[in-house]
Amino acid sequence: MTSSNARLFERARRVMPGGVSSPVRAFGAVGGTPRFAASARGAWITDVEGKQYVDLVGSWGPMILGHAHPEVVAAVQDAVGDSSSFGAPCLRELELAEEIVRLVEPVQRVRFTSSGTEAVMTAVRLARGATGRALIVKFAGCYHGHSDALLAAAGSGVATLGLPDSPGVTAGTAASTLVLPYGRLDLVEQAFAAHGDQIAAVVTEPVPANMGVIAPPAGFNRGLRDLCSAHGAVFIVDEVLTGFRLSRAGYWGLAGSAEGWAPDLFTFGKVVGGGLPMSAVGGRADLMDLLAPAGPVYQAGTLSGNPAAAAAGLATLRLADDAVYAHLDQVSSQLRAMVSEALTQAGVAHRINHWGNLFSVFFTSAEVSDYDTAKAQDSAAFARFFHAMLDRGVWLAPSAFEAWFVSAALGERELDVIARALPEAACAAADPARPAGS
């Protein structure tokens, strides 16, 4: 008999391209049938066949407290009871803005949007509006959402599916994005030397995590800050993934604040919405106040600042206290040790990169420091590993290019399940003769 997952996937493909709403979910890179999620609570996700998995994806980042946290659910229910949307200013969005300003010191103003893509798109327009310049510098393998200007050499699904730069992006748009290899400050310097008066912004993931996790070389982010300052360009740090995940003040809270620098603009998403569609641009008042209606740079949204999403975000940020971040760090380091041990035992070449609680596993013996080295890994070994883990009840991202996302809900019981799954999964990774599973 065909499984419910398979039947639903078949149905979905009839009415949705590839059967999904976002490409990587289709299991294209690992083969087999995507699991349809039915419900999730804490660290556990249940598919439509009733099988339970320990979730190490956390909806690709947002679910830092685990799923259906009672206080988050209550906050959302409360909000929705007052109506799910007003299209007018409301207290909940104001409170979330105040919380972000309180947590991330360089942020003086916040503009809410609904997805990370939209937040970065807004930051880029703001940078262009503020500087009157066109060029954007981004780094190969960094993902900043799927807006036209930033899709060039993007990580995440673009890396997973091995897509060339996407059709539908005009040559004109592509020409205004300068893509440089990650981590090479000398090349950024050269770009500024050649085009300094045309560069509106440099945008980066402070810790790239969409080509797998890559620790920024010492001084790299700071160096970008200094180059932008020297050339009058806007420095955008895309903390959509790292914000409120690495610490209460994201990457900046652990590194920028200690080193005494700040970006001009931050973008936030994922955790900031606690699992509902919510994202934000934040930054210095002088720059942010160029946004309409305070200034001339237009930006808007029917559902922006949505009260239910604001309630979920606010509840999540308030619950994510020091104990939560200490737990994430500890679980992350336990997991890294467990995975490394199992892969080593099975003789599987691998590298585990991490920065703070963010980590990913590369199936390669070579050091991974940029997009090219990330792409050189053995994706087939990952696919076998992935399916063996899934069969044993561990839900990993169906891509070798994603971070593993830990949550506050992971405890001893979940780590036990993972520990039991790992040796077999490592053997599967070691054995090219094994099919990747269903």
From 12-20, 80-88, 141-149, 341-349, span contacting ligand PLP (CB under 6 A): 141-149
Least spacing, CB of residue 328 vs ligand PLP, in Å = 17
Among candidates 274, 340, 342, which has minimal Cα distance to 312?
A: 274
Residue of the chain from 205, 264, 402, 414 that contacts ligand PLP (CB under 6 A): 205
Of 234-253, binders to ligand PLP (CB under 6 A) are 238, 240-241
Nearer to ligand PLP, 32 or 263 (CB): 263
Backbone angles phi, psi at 140, to 5 degrees: -60, 130
Write 366-369 long-range contacts (CB < 8 A, 24+): 368/212, 368/214, 369/182, 369/183, 369/214, 369/217
* Distance between start and end Cα atoms, the chain: 14
Nearer to ligand PLP, 44 or 405 (CB): 405
| CA separation for the pair 54, 42 (Å, rounded) | 9
96-125 footprint of ligand PLP as x/- string (CB under 6 A): -------------------xxx--x-----
Q: How many CB atoms lie within 10 A of CB 31?
A: 16
Least spacing, CB of residue 95 vs ligand PLP, in Å = 22
Residue of the chain from 210, 221, 353, 379 that contacts ligand PLP (CB under 6 A): 210
H, E, C per residue of 249-264: CHHHHHCHHHHCCCCC
| CA separation for the pair 297, 281 (Å, rounded) | 13
Q: What angle do CA 75, 81, 83 make, to 5 degrees?
A: 110
Nearer to ligand PLP, 241 or 390 (CB): 241
Helix/strand/coil for 276 = coil
Residue 182 annotated to the active site? no
- Please give the DSSP secondary-structure letter assigned to residue 35: P
| CA separation for the pair 2, 6 (Å, rounded) | 6
Residue of the chain from 44, 53, 139, 143 that contacts ligand PLP (CB under 6 A): 143
Position of minimal CB gap to ligand PLP = 116
Residue 270 annotated to the active site? yes
Nearer to ligand PLP, 211 or 348 (CB): 211
From 32-40, 137-145, 324-332, 426-434, span contacting ligand PLP (CB under 6 A): 137-145
Among candidates 174, 178, 115, which has minimal Cα distance to 148?
A: 174
262-301 footprint of ligand PLP as x/- string (CB under 6 A): -------x---------x----------------------
Nearer to ligand PLP, 236 or 381 (CB): 236
Partners of residue 53 on adjacent β-strands: 45
Residue 238 annotated to the active site? yes
Residue of the chain from 25, 69, 144, 225 that contacts ligand PLP (CB under 6 A): 144
Selected catalytic residue, list 47, 53, 264, 270: 270
Q: Which amino acid is at 184?
A: R
Selected catalytic residue, list 53, 143, 182, 325: 143
By residue count, the chain amounts to: 438
Nearer to ligand PLP, 247 or 279 (CB): 279
Q: Taking a C-beta distance cutoff of 8 angstroms, is the pair 243, 250 a contact?
A: yes
Catalytic residue annotation: 143, 238, 270
Binding site for ligand PLP (CB under 6 A): 115-117, 120, 143-145, 205, 210, 238, 240-241, 269, 279
